[in-house]
Amino acid sequence: MTEKKGFQVIAPPSSAELAERLEKELEGYRIHKDIIEKTGIHTVREIPESWLIVICTPDTPGDGAVCSVIEEYLSAGKRNRILTVLAEGTPVTSFPENIRFEKLPDGTVKEHEPLAANITAESAWKAYGLLKTEKLRLLAPMLGVRFDDLMNRDRRQKARIRLAAGCAVMGAAAVFLIFTISRMQIIRQQNEKLQQQYAEAEEALAEAQEQKDAAQEALARTVAVTADGLLDAGNTELAMLLCLEYLPEMRQIEELTEVFEKALSIRCSAGFTPVTTKQAYERTRQMDSLSYGGYTLLSESEDDERPGTLPASMEILPPSGSGDKPYRPDDAHVSLKDYSVKYGYGVYQGTVRWGETWDDADEILWIGSASGAEEGFYLRMTDGSLVTGISAVKILPDGSLLLEKSDKVLLRFSVTESAGADKPALKEENVRQIPVYDGETSLTEELPFEVTFFMERPGFSDRVHALNRDGIAVFESRPFRLKYIIEDENTKLFATAPNGSTYWNGTYLAILPDGSRRIIVGEQFVYDEEDGSFLFEMDDFGQSSGVRFLTQSSEGWLPLWRGNDIYVIDLADGHTVDIIHDLRETEFSLCGPEDPVYGNKSASVMLLYSSVYTDKSADKYYYEYRAEEIEVPETLEEQIALAEELLNGRELIPAERRRYHLDE
């Protein structure tokens, strides 16, 4: 609010610049001589009464400071001293209630139509042009004269100025002609030169305007090219924001509107659509930053107490029991193969040799305690000989150790004995060989094929899944016994890798939201994990490139890489939910809400990034899933409104404005 002698201009903060310009226009007004003679007022500052001028926009009725000043004038009985300037909107939406309505002593309400100068226009530049004339509508009541008097006098003054100027020019021309009649030829030449200079000036002015218009169009097209590049990178939100900096004012630039509509269409399409970078997405949605790094060894249940951590590998002394071979001490290196937090031990496997070549070597097992893995012992048979020739190891839920020898024979050992409530004792003398299968069973300890490795997957602790190049053997955990074997044309066709390290890359265990479980075989064939029956074949896209399974989502979807594309498969029936094409990224994370039952996260939000540059947020982009497409409106104004809604409050930050030179 600004106070001046004779008048006071008030406005909401959004119209502060207009209020300042109006003050300058009023203070700079030169009062005509006949008005001075009539009123005795030489300048606006000499107006004897205090007038209140209110700038009215849709923000004015809700501005407490403005309404408070108006109320002071009304309380002082100065309603007739209140003038209004309608800058935006209509009288209904922009005039405060205490200006439009007056409550009379008898309880009735009287509606007033305040005197208003109307400067509403399409742009601020046009509004300031209207102010040149509309200010007279405010000055007239302040000076105590009619608007037409000021308007007509203003016009007459301008006419007199033009007439005086014309007369001066004509007089000067006459004098010039009188005194220079003898030099007509020189004058004619000078006149021709002046005409030429004038034409050149007009041409330069027109060229300058064309250059200005061309520069504005070039700027808009540059923004469109930048936004299109961001769109290709997956930064849909930033592409839309850059376009909105110049829309709708530059709607005539087709490149700009086309890129904007393209970005909006991508954001509204069904399926997975790119949103923006990790940094911008998490900033506008109050998300915690995702962490990347190593893995954590998890216990079998949340109630298990962690006795300590186990090293992934270590150097140990060679075995030295009775009857052992003289193994070389420089080859005593073992790696962790399985562990149990609940029972407090881990199983390490390593190759040690007694000869000069690796042909003279054994695969042996080391049992290490979680509280001190190097203080463990080598696993031995009942007769004291070392357990060798093991191809796969698995600690069962009851704490016993299951082994598979290379001759297709299963072995099982009880490794711990209870030393008190939930305090297993890990001692070499407690280890004993026990029957492989619990309960009554006619099965022998021999399998139809050699187990290559045991699969691990949270949520499947009641089963043990053993894999081989020919099939899958599924065991019940309690009691431990063979449940079924999957060995058919699918397993034989797809499990033909030349070595054990690449067996069954296309095998995956999954849990659907309804609790049903699946086994995916050969990257394509789906079986019921309950009984091993074949269910269906997933969509086949005819690609020969390798498949890499990702993390299952809480919806029961399984994302998988095929070449440079991610295919999201619904494991309920095998159909493809969506395909994200032509990705430069190589890693991903599911970031949607977590399923509290199985711990799987939703695929509604997905983060894709390059594993080479995981520390650079610019290389990480979020994708969101939409089940149904949003229809894009036809008009630009409606499209802009929809884009602002989808931006979720996202705005350009100062660093982005500097990067794209928006404030220069």
As a whole number of Å, the end-to-end CA separation of the chain is: 31
Q: pTM of the predicted model, to two decimals?
A: 0.58
DSSP lists the bridge partners of residue 55 as: 85
pLDDT, tens digit, 9 for 90 and up, residues 328-343: 887 778 899 888 888 8
409 & 468 share domain: yes
In this predicted structure, the answer to whether residue 208 has a pLDDT above a threshold of 80 is no
pLDDT, tens digit, 9 for 90 and up, residues 533-544: 999 988 766 554
487 & 527 share domain: no
Number of domain units in the chain: 4
What is the pLDDT of the chain when averaged over all its residues?
Answer: 81
The answer to whether residue 38 is domain-embedded is: yes
437 & 515 share domain: no
Q: Two tokens at 570?
A: 């619904």
DSSP state of 78: -
Mean pLDDT of 621-640: 92
Euclidean distance between CA atoms 625 and 629, whole angstroms: 10
Per-residue model confidence (pLDDT) at position 293: 28
343 & 484 share domain: yes
Per-residue model confidence (pLDDT) at position 448: 67
| Element (DSSP H or E) covering residue 560 | strand 557-562
Report which listed range, 157-161, 187-191, 333-337, is most confident. 333-337
Upper half-sphere CA count for residue 477 (Cβ side, 13 Å): 16
Per-residue model confidence (pLDDT) at position 54: 95
Euclidean distance between CA atoms 538 and 570, whole angstroms: 9
Mean pLDDT of 198-209: 74
Per-residue model confidence (pLDDT) at position 261: 94
319 & 441 share domain: yes
Q: Two tokens at 272?
A: 């997975």
416 & 551 share domain: no
The answer to whether residue 155 is domain-embedded is: no
In this predicted structure, the answer to whether residue 301 has a pLDDT above a threshold of 80 is no
309 & 453 share domain: yes
pLDDT, tens digit, 9 for 90 and up, residues 66-117: 999 999 999 998 998 999 999 999 999 999 999 999 888 888 989 988 767 9
Closest CA to 448 of 430, 465, 433, 469: 469
Mean pLDDT of 526-553: 78
The answer to whether residue 157 is domain-embedded is: no
Choose the weakest-confidence range: 235-239, 351-355, 422-426, 432-436: 422-426
Helix 636-646 × helix 236-244 angle, to 10°: 130
The answer to whether residue 136 is domain-embedded is: yes
Enumerate residues 6+ apart whose C-beta is below 8 A from 307. Answer: 341, 344, 369, 370, 371
In this predicted structure, the answer to whether residue 1 has a pLDDT above a threshold of 60 is no
Share of the chain above pLDDT 70, in %: 81
Choose the weakest-confidence range: 93-102, 283-292, 596-605: 283-292
389 & 303 share domain: yes
Euclidean distance between CA atoms 408 and 426, whole angstroms: 28
pLDDT, tens digit, 9 for 90 and up, residues 103-144: 888 889 899 887 679 999 988 888 888 898 888 888 889 888
In this predicted structure, the answer to whether residue 639 has a pLDDT above a threshold of 90 is yes
In this predicted structure, the answer to whether residue 652 has a pLDDT above a threshold of 80 is yes
pLDDT, tens digit, 9 for 90 and up, residues 445-504: 566 667 777 777 777 888 888 877 678 888 888 888 888 888 888 877 665 444 434 444
pLDDT, tens digit, 9 for 90 and up, residues 262-276: 999 999 999 999 999
DSSP state of 594: B
339 & 488 share domain: yes
Better pLDDT: 55 or 207: 55
The answer to whether residue 16 is domain-embedded is: yes
In this predicted structure, the answer to whether residue 296 has a pLDDT above a threshold of 60 is no
Helix 184-233 × helix 254-268 angle, to 10°: 20
- Residue 269 burial class via C-beta count within 10 angstroms: exposed 0-12, middle 13-18, buried 19 and up: middle
The answer to whether residue 152 is domain-embedded is: no
Per-residue model confidence (pLDDT) at position 501: 41
Helix and strand element counts for the chain (H, E): 14, 34
The answer to whether residue 550 is domain-embedded is: yes
Enumerate residues 6+ apart whose C-beta is below 8 A from 186. Answer: 180
End of a domain among 497, 521, 554?
497
In this predicted structure, the answer to whether residue 15 has a pLDDT above a threshold of 70 is yes
537 & 588 share domain: yes
pLDDT, tens digit, 9 for 90 and up, residues 165-185: 555 556 555 555 566 666 677
End of a domain among 497, 523, 547?
497
Per-residue model confidence (pLDDT) at position 528: 94
Contact indicator for 601, 593 with CB cutoff of 8 Å: yes
522 & 588 share domain: yes
Per-residue model confidence (pLDDT) at position 300: 36
Per-residue model confidence (pLDDT) at position 185: 72
Euclidean distance between CA atoms 419 and 425, whole angstroms: 6
In this predicted structure, the answer to whether residue 613 has a pLDDT above a threshold of 60 is no
Euclidean distance between CA atoms 481 and 475, whole angstroms: 5
Cis upstream peptide for 479 (omega within 30°): yes
Enumerate residues 6+ apart whose C-beta is below 8 A from 515. Answer: none
Enumerate residues 6+ apart whose C-beta is below 8 A from 181. Answer: none
In this predicted structure, the answer to whether residue 305 has a pLDDT above a threshold of 80 is no
Report the largest interatomic distance among the alpha carbons of the chain, rounded to a whole angstrom: 141
Q: SS3 of 142, please?
A: helix
Domain encompassing residue 542 = 271-279+505-628
End of a domain among 101, 121, 145?
145
Confidence class for position 202, pLDDT limits 50, 70, 90: confident
The answer to whether residue 161 is domain-embedded is: no
522 & 660 share domain: no
- Residue 615 burial class via C-beta count within 10 angstroms: exposed 0-12, middle 13-18, buried 19 and up: exposed
Scan for tokens 């939100």, then name that residue. 237
Question: Domain containing 101 — which CATH number?
Answer: 3.40.50
In this predicted structure, the answer to whether residue 611 has a pLDDT above a threshold of 70 is no
Per-residue model confidence (pLDDT) at position 288: 47
Closest CA to 74 of 93, 54, 90: 54
Q: Two tokens at 202?
A: 């007009």
In this predicted structure, the answer to whether residue 563 has a pLDDT above a threshold of 70 is yes
Q: Read off φ and ψ for residue 436, nearest 5 degrees.
A: -65, -50
Share of the chain above pLDDT 90, in %: 23
Better pLDDT: 628 or 357: 628
Per-residue model confidence (pLDDT) at position 236: 93
DSSP lists the bridge partners of residue 467 as: 453, 472
